[in-house]
A and B are shown apart, each in its own frame.
Chain A
Amino acid sequence: DTGVSQNPRHKITKRGQNVTFRCDPISEHNRLYWYRQTLGQGPEFLTYFQNEAQLEKSRLLSDRFSAERPKGSFSTLEIQRTEQGDSAMYLCASSHRDSLGAWYFGPGTRLTVT
Protein backbone atom coordinates (compact mmCIF):
# COMPACT_ATOMS: atom_id res chain seq x y z
CA ASP A 1 0.00 0.00 0.00
CA THR A 2 1.86 3.05 -1.26
CA GLY A 3 -0.86 5.54 -0.35
CA VAL A 4 -2.31 8.36 -2.41
CA SER A 5 0.29 10.39 -4.27
CA GLN A 6 -0.02 13.84 -5.79
CA ASN A 7 2.24 15.65 -8.20
CA PRO A 8 3.63 18.18 -8.17
CA ARG A 9 3.79 18.95 -4.47
CA HIS A 10 4.28 22.64 -5.13
CA LYS A 11 3.44 24.78 -8.13
CA ILE A 12 4.11 28.47 -8.59
CA THR A 13 2.56 30.02 -11.64
CA LYS A 14 1.78 33.42 -13.03
CA ARG A 15 -1.75 34.66 -13.27
CA GLY A 16 -3.33 33.64 -16.53
CA GLN A 17 -1.31 30.47 -16.98
CA ASN A 18 -2.81 26.98 -17.06
CA VAL A 19 -1.80 24.35 -14.53
CA THR A 20 -2.47 20.64 -14.23
CA PHE A 21 -2.22 18.47 -11.15
CA ARG A 22 -2.15 14.71 -10.96
CA CYS A 23 -3.46 12.33 -8.33
CA ASP A 24 -2.66 8.63 -8.16
CA PRO A 25 -5.06 6.89 -5.79
CA ILE A 26 -4.57 3.64 -3.94
CA SER A 27 -4.79 1.08 -6.71
CA GLU A 28 -7.91 -0.84 -5.72
CA HIS A 29 -9.94 2.24 -4.77
CA ASN A 30 -12.80 3.05 -7.13
CA ARG A 31 -13.62 6.47 -5.69
CA LEU A 32 -11.50 9.56 -6.03
CA TYR A 33 -12.18 13.00 -4.55
CA TRP A 34 -10.74 16.46 -5.09
CA TYR A 35 -10.87 19.07 -2.34
CA ARG A 36 -9.40 22.55 -1.99
CA GLN A 37 -8.04 23.95 1.25
CA THR A 38 -7.11 27.59 1.81
CA LEU A 39 -5.07 28.80 4.75
CA GLY A 40 -6.88 28.46 8.04
CA GLN A 41 -9.88 26.78 6.50
CA GLY A 42 -11.16 23.26 6.24
CA PRO A 43 -11.12 21.36 2.96
CA GLU A 44 -13.90 22.24 0.52
CA PHE A 45 -15.41 19.73 -1.86
CA LEU A 46 -14.67 20.19 -5.56
CA THR A 47 -15.63 16.97 -7.29
CA TYR A 48 -15.57 13.20 -7.08
CA PHE A 49 -15.35 10.19 -9.37
CA GLN A 50 -16.53 6.67 -9.16
CA ASN A 51 -14.29 4.76 -11.51
CA GLU A 52 -14.09 7.01 -14.58
CA ALA A 53 -17.47 8.70 -14.06
CA GLN A 54 -17.53 12.18 -12.55
CA LEU A 55 -20.57 11.96 -10.29
CA GLU A 56 -20.73 15.39 -8.72
CA LYS A 57 -19.16 18.81 -9.11
CA SER A 58 -19.24 21.67 -6.67
CA ARG A 59 -20.33 25.13 -7.68
CA LEU A 60 -16.81 26.11 -6.61
CA LEU A 61 -15.63 24.35 -9.75
CA SER A 62 -15.98 27.15 -12.27
CA ASP A 63 -15.67 26.72 -16.01
CA ARG A 64 -11.94 27.26 -15.66
CA PHE A 65 -11.62 24.01 -13.72
CA SER A 66 -11.82 20.57 -15.25
CA ALA A 67 -11.14 17.17 -13.79
CA GLU A 68 -10.75 13.83 -15.49
CA ARG A 69 -10.19 10.24 -14.56
CA PRO A 70 -9.93 8.66 -17.98
CA LYS A 71 -9.28 5.03 -17.09
CA GLY A 72 -10.65 5.00 -13.60
CA SER A 73 -7.17 5.09 -12.14
CA PHE A 74 -5.23 8.38 -11.85
CA SER A 75 -6.98 11.72 -12.10
CA THR A 76 -5.97 15.16 -13.31
CA LEU A 77 -7.26 18.54 -12.24
CA GLU A 78 -6.64 21.40 -14.65
CA ILE A 79 -7.09 25.07 -13.93
CA GLN A 80 -7.13 27.36 -16.92
CA ARG A 81 -6.32 31.08 -16.82
CA THR A 82 -5.32 30.92 -13.17
CA GLU A 83 -6.29 33.74 -10.82
CA GLN A 84 -4.74 34.74 -7.52
CA GLY A 85 -7.82 33.43 -5.76
CA ASP A 86 -6.95 29.95 -6.97
CA SER A 87 -3.97 29.86 -4.63
CA ALA A 88 -4.66 27.00 -2.26
CA MET A 89 -3.76 23.44 -1.35
CA TYR A 90 -5.46 20.97 -3.67
CA LEU A 91 -6.13 17.68 -1.94
CA CYS A 92 -6.95 14.34 -3.46
CA ALA A 93 -8.43 11.38 -1.60
CA SER A 94 -9.46 7.89 -2.57
CA SER A 95 -11.61 5.15 -1.11
CA HIS A 96 -13.68 2.10 -1.80
CA ARG A 97 -17.26 2.97 -2.59
CA ASP A 98 -18.40 1.40 0.68
CA SER A 99 -15.80 2.97 2.93
CA LEU A 100 -18.40 5.45 4.24
CA GLY A 101 -16.15 8.47 4.54
CA ALA A 102 -13.03 6.70 5.75
CA TRP A 103 -10.89 8.13 3.02
CA TYR A 104 -7.16 8.15 2.34
CA PHE A 105 -5.83 11.59 1.54
CA GLY A 106 -2.73 12.50 -0.41
CA PRO A 107 -0.21 15.13 0.69
CA GLY A 108 -1.73 17.78 -1.56
CA THR A 109 -0.45 20.14 -4.23
CA ARG A 110 0.17 23.68 -3.04
CA LEU A 111 -0.59 26.19 -5.78
CA THR A 112 0.65 29.75 -5.61
CA VAL A 113 -0.53 32.15 -8.27
CA THR A 114 1.55 35.31 -8.53
Chain B
Amino acid sequence: AQKVTQAQTEISVVEKEDVTLDCVYETRDTTYYLFWYKQPPSGELVFLIRRNSFDEQNEISGRYSWNFQKSTSSFNFTITASQVVDSAVYFCALSPEDGTASKLTFGTGTRLQVTL
Protein backbone atom coordinates (compact mmCIF):
# COMPACT_ATOMS: atom_id res chain seq x y z
CA ALA B 1 0.00 0.00 0.00
CA GLN B 2 1.10 3.54 -0.65
CA LYS B 3 0.88 6.36 1.85
CA VAL B 4 1.78 10.04 1.84
CA THR B 5 2.13 12.03 5.05
CA GLN B 6 2.10 15.80 5.22
CA ALA B 7 2.46 16.48 8.92
CA GLN B 8 2.08 20.25 8.62
CA THR B 9 -1.60 21.02 8.50
CA GLU B 10 -1.25 24.76 8.20
CA ILE B 11 1.65 27.20 7.90
CA SER B 12 1.49 30.98 8.12
CA VAL B 13 4.32 33.18 6.93
CA VAL B 14 4.84 36.81 6.16
CA GLU B 15 5.53 37.75 2.57
CA LYS B 16 9.14 37.34 1.46
CA GLU B 17 9.85 34.64 4.02
CA ASP B 18 11.07 31.26 2.81
CA VAL B 19 8.90 28.29 3.67
CA THR B 20 9.38 24.52 3.38
CA LEU B 21 6.52 22.08 3.07
CA ASP B 22 7.33 18.56 4.22
CA CYS B 23 6.29 15.33 2.55
CA VAL B 24 7.09 11.80 3.69
CA TYR B 25 5.96 8.79 1.71
CA GLU B 26 5.71 5.03 2.09
CA THR B 27 5.70 2.53 -0.73
CA ARG B 28 6.81 -1.02 -1.42
CA ASP B 29 7.42 -0.24 -5.05
CA THR B 30 11.01 -0.01 -6.15
CA THR B 31 10.15 2.57 -8.77
CA TYR B 32 7.57 5.28 -8.38
CA TYR B 33 6.72 8.90 -9.12
CA LEU B 34 6.33 11.75 -6.67
CA PHE B 35 4.32 14.89 -7.32
CA TRP B 36 3.35 18.24 -5.89
CA TYR B 37 0.03 19.87 -6.71
CA LYS B 38 -1.28 23.30 -5.67
CA GLN B 39 -4.95 23.92 -4.85
CA PRO B 40 -5.65 27.67 -4.77
CA PRO B 41 -8.88 29.05 -3.30
CA SER B 42 -10.57 28.58 -6.68
CA GLY B 43 -10.35 24.83 -6.04
CA GLU B 44 -8.68 23.52 -9.20
CA LEU B 45 -5.63 21.41 -8.50
CA VAL B 46 -2.61 22.59 -10.47
CA PHE B 47 0.29 20.28 -11.30
CA LEU B 48 3.66 21.65 -10.14
CA ILE B 49 6.26 18.90 -10.48
CA ARG B 50 6.82 15.20 -11.09
CA ARG B 51 9.87 13.29 -9.88
CA ASN B 52 10.90 9.75 -10.85
CA SER B 53 12.35 7.69 -8.01
CA PHE B 54 15.50 7.13 -10.04
CA ASP B 55 16.21 10.81 -10.19
CA GLU B 56 17.37 12.23 -6.87
CA GLN B 57 18.61 15.49 -8.26
CA ASN B 58 17.07 18.48 -6.62
CA GLU B 59 15.13 20.79 -8.90
CA ILE B 60 14.65 24.53 -8.94
CA SER B 61 12.01 26.39 -10.88
CA GLY B 62 12.01 30.09 -10.18
CA ARG B 63 11.12 30.56 -6.52
CA TYR B 64 10.22 26.89 -6.13
CA SER B 65 12.65 24.12 -5.29
CA TRP B 66 12.26 20.48 -4.41
CA ASN B 67 14.48 18.26 -2.30
CA PHE B 68 14.07 14.52 -2.92
CA GLN B 69 15.84 12.22 -0.45
CA LYS B 70 15.19 8.56 -1.07
CA SER B 71 17.08 7.56 2.09
CA THR B 72 14.52 9.31 4.26
CA SER B 73 11.54 8.84 1.90
CA SER B 74 11.00 12.56 1.75
CA PHE B 75 10.15 14.98 -1.03
CA ASN B 76 10.10 18.47 0.45
CA PHE B 77 9.03 21.64 -1.31
CA THR B 78 10.53 25.06 -0.61
CA ILE B 79 9.14 28.40 -1.70
CA THR B 80 11.69 31.18 -1.56
CA ALA B 81 10.59 34.75 -0.96
CA SER B 82 6.95 33.78 -0.57
CA GLN B 83 4.21 35.94 -2.04
CA VAL B 84 0.54 36.37 -1.19
CA VAL B 85 -0.35 34.55 -4.43
CA ASP B 86 1.36 31.46 -3.04
CA SER B 87 -1.46 31.09 -0.52
CA ALA B 88 -3.06 27.74 -1.26
CA VAL B 89 -3.26 24.15 -0.13
CA TYR B 90 -0.33 22.11 -1.38
CA PHE B 91 -0.58 18.37 -1.89
CA CYS B 92 2.18 15.85 -2.21
CA ALA B 93 1.26 12.69 -4.14
CA LEU B 94 2.72 9.32 -5.04
CA SER B 95 2.13 6.92 -7.91
CA PRO B 96 3.60 3.55 -8.82
CA GLU B 97 5.78 3.58 -11.87
CA ASP B 98 3.44 1.52 -13.99
CA GLY B 99 4.37 3.26 -17.17
CA THR B 100 1.60 5.82 -17.08
CA ALA B 101 1.16 6.98 -13.46
CA SER B 102 -2.50 6.09 -13.70
CA LYS B 103 -3.39 6.56 -10.04
CA LEU B 104 -2.17 9.13 -7.55
CA THR B 105 -2.25 8.76 -3.78
CA PHE B 106 -2.43 12.19 -2.21
CA GLY B 107 -1.43 13.39 1.23
CA THR B 108 -3.80 15.43 3.36
CA GLY B 109 -2.30 18.70 2.22
CA THR B 110 -0.63 21.68 3.85
CA ARG B 111 -2.47 24.98 3.86
CA LEU B 112 -0.05 27.86 3.31
CA GLN B 113 -1.16 31.34 4.27
CA VAL B 114 1.10 34.18 3.16
CA THR B 115 0.28 37.59 4.60
CA LEU B 116 1.63 41.08 3.99
State whether the Cβ of A25 lies closer than 8 Å to any Cβ in chain B. no
**Residues on B with beta carbons closer than 8 Å to the beta carbon of A107:** 42-44
- Complex Cα gap A44–B101 (Å): 15
The stretch of B11-19, B53-61, B79-87, B106-114 that contacts the partner chain: B106-114
The stretch of A67-75, A76-84, A94-102 that contacts the partner chain: A94-102
A89 near B103: Cβ-Cβ < 8 Å: no
B91 near A42: Cβ-Cβ < 8 Å: yes
**Residues on A with beta carbons closer than 8 Å to the beta carbon of B7:** none
**Residues on B with beta carbons closer than 8 Å to the beta carbon of A48:** 102-103
Interface size on B, residues (CB 8 A): 24
Kindly identify, within residues 85 to 114 of chain A, every residue whose CB is under 8 Å from any CB belonging to chain B.
89, 91, 93, 97-108
Q: What's the nearest-Cβ distance from chain A to residue B54, in Å?
A: 13
- Complex Cα gap A56–B102 (Å): 9
Q: Which A-chain residue is minimally distant from B97 (CB atoms)?
A: A100
Kindly identify, within residues 26 to 56 of chain B, every residue whose CB is under 8 Å from any CB belonging to chain A.
33, 35, 37, 42-47, 50
B43 near A45: Cβ-Cβ < 8 Å: no
Q: What's the nearest-Cβ distance from chain A to residue B34, in Å?
A: 9
Q: What's the nearest-Cβ distance from chain B to residue A105, in Å?
A: 4
A102 near B106: Cβ-Cβ < 8 Å: no
Q: What's the nearest-Cβ distance from chain A to residue B111, in Å?
A: 9
- Of the listed residues B4, B33, B102, B108, the one surrounded by the most CB atoms of chain A closer than 10 A to its CB is B102
- Complex Cα gap A44–B102 (Å): 13
**Residues on A with beta carbons closer than 8 Å to the beta carbon of B100:** 31, 97-98, 100
As a 0/1 sequence over residues 51 to 74 of chain B, the CB contacts with chain A under 8 angstroms (1 = contact) are 000000000000000000000000
B50 near A100: Cβ-Cβ < 8 Å: yes
Q: What's the nearest-Cβ distance from chain B to residue A48, in Å?
A: 6
B50 near A93: Cβ-Cβ < 8 Å: no
Q: Which A-chain residue is minimally distant from B106 (CB atoms)?
A: A42
- Complex Cα gap A106–B45 (Å): 8
| Interface pairs A-B: 9 shortest CB-CB | A42-B106, A101-B101, A105-B45, A100-B101, A102-B47, A43-B106, A107-B44, A42-B108, A45-B103
Q: Could you tell me which B residues sit within 8 Å of A by CB distance?
A: 4, 33, 35, 37, 42-47, 50, 91, 93, 95, 100-109
